[in-house]
Amino acid sequence: MHQGWNCGDYFPDGITNGASWYSLSKGMQDFNYLHTNCFEITLELSCDKFPRQEELQREWLGNREALIQFLEQVHQGIKGMVLDENSNNLTGAVISVTGINHDVTSGEHGDYFRLLLPGTYSVTAKAPGYDPKTVTVTVGPAGPTVVDFQLKRSSSQVYPVQRAPGRGQGGRAKQPRTSRKKDPATKR
């Protein structure tokens, strides 16, 4: 496929958009990309979907270096931690990159990772109850760029919930009595 023509199709530089080669809707790749921090791909290494066992060693040797180099690309982009002003981990913080319509969220321990090509980006971290923080980041061609965010509690004035009159600590509000007409047929 890297030579352009193979499998009866043309692949410029050995690459194709999978949807233009064959269409598949509602796959796990779409779901995981849109609804989780997971980025999945499918690698087509030959025209034969089910190569014979004796061909597997040749396929591995022919693709090993390319696959290893591809795996190493997972470190391309930014990674870091999202913390509050007391250095506590912020789970579920949203990390946005200006101009890219796909956010990622911080994990259970406040960690995040965002694949990005080399370049300069405006990156924002935000979490409910905290002021968002935006930084400019330059991603290089080597390993990940570490970008930690420390968010401060929102400076918006939050007013305490007012208790209804007659409510004490854990008490119930007194309900106003409604007048009922006595039904002579009903004994109390």
Q: Is 101 in the same domain as 38?
A: no
Q: Is 70 in the same domain as 82?
A: no
Cα–Cα dist 68/184, whole Å: 90
pTM over 0.85: no
Q: Does 107 fall in a domain?
A: yes
Q: Does 178 score more than 70 pLDDT?
A: no
Q: Does 43 fall in a domain?
A: yes
Q: Does 176 fall in a domain?
A: no
Annotated catalytic sites, by residue?
44
- Torsion angle, CA of 13/21/50/66, rounded to 10 degrees? 30
- For the chain, the domain total comes to 2
**For 69-114, how does the pLDDT look when each residue is reduced to its tens digit (9 = 90+)?**
888 887 889 999 999 999 999 999 999 999 998 899 999 999 999 9
Length of the chain: 188
By CB neighbour count within 10 A (0-12 exposed, 13-18 middle, 19+ buried), where does 106 fall?
buried
The whole domain housing 139 covers 76-153
**Model pLDDT, residue 1:** 60
**Model pLDDT, residue 37:** 67
**Model pLDDT, residue 39:** 73
For residue 106, the domain's CATH number is: 2.60.40.1120
Q: How confident is the model at residue 18 (pLDDT cuts 50, 70, 90)?
A: low
Can you give 96-141 as a three-state secondary structure string? Answer: EECCEEEEEECCCCCEEEEECCCEEEEEEEECCCECCEEEEEEECC
Give the mean pLDDT of 125-154.
94
Q: Does 160 fall in a domain?
A: no
Q: Is 115 in the same domain as 144?
A: yes
**Model pLDDT, residue 50:** 85
Cα–Cα dist 8/66, whole Å: 23
Of 135 and 21, the structure prediction assigns the larger pLDDT to 135
Closest CA to 113 of 65, 80, 154, 143: 80
Residue 160, amino acid = P
Q: Is 48 in the same domain as 101?
A: no
Q: Is 69 in the same domain as 138?
A: no
Q: Does 179 fall in a domain?
A: no
Give the mean pLDDT of 143-150.
93
Q: Is 126 in the same domain as 92?
A: yes
